[in-house]
Amino acid sequence: MTSRKQEKFEMILDAAQKVIAENGFHGSQVSKIAKEAGVADGTIYLYFKKKEDILISLFEDRLGKLVDRFNSSIQETDTAEQALRKVCEIHFTELENNVDLAYVTQIELRQSSIELRKAIGLSVKPYIQLIEHIVQKGIHENSFRPELDPKLTRHLIFGAMDEVVTSWLISGRKYSLSAQVDKTVDFFLKALSS
Q: Which residues bind DNA (CB under 7 A)?
A: 1-2, 4-5, 8, 26-27, 29-31, 39-46, 50-52
User: Quick one: 48 or 158, whose CB is closer to DNA?
Assistant: 48
What is the binding site for its own copies (CB under 8 A)?
Answer: 24-26, 107-108, 110-114, 117-118, 121, 145, 148-149, 152-153, 155-164, 166-167, 170, 180, 183-184, 187-188, 190-193
User: Quick one: 29 or 194, whose CB is closer to DNA?
Assistant: 29
From the list DNA, its own copies, none, partner contacted by residue 113 (C-beta under 5 to 8 A by kind): its own copies
User: Quick one: 68 or 186, whose CB is closer to its own copies?
Assistant: 186
Provide, for the chain, the percentages of residues in helix, strand and coil under a 3-state DSSP scheme, each rounded to the nearest 5: 80, 0, 20
* Angle of CA points 133, 91, 159, to nearest 5°: 65
Name the amino acid, one letter, at 29.
Q
Is the Cβ–Cβ distance between 41 and 30 less than 8 Å? Answer: yes
Phi, psi of 147 (to 5 degrees): -85, 0
From the list its own copies, DNA, none, partner contacted by residue 44 (C-beta under 5 to 8 A by kind): DNA
- Closest distance of CB 89 from its own copies, Å: 16
Phi, psi of 142 (to 5 degrees): 65, 15
- Distances in Å between the Cα of 192 and the Cα atoms of 78, 161, 183 are 17, 15, 14
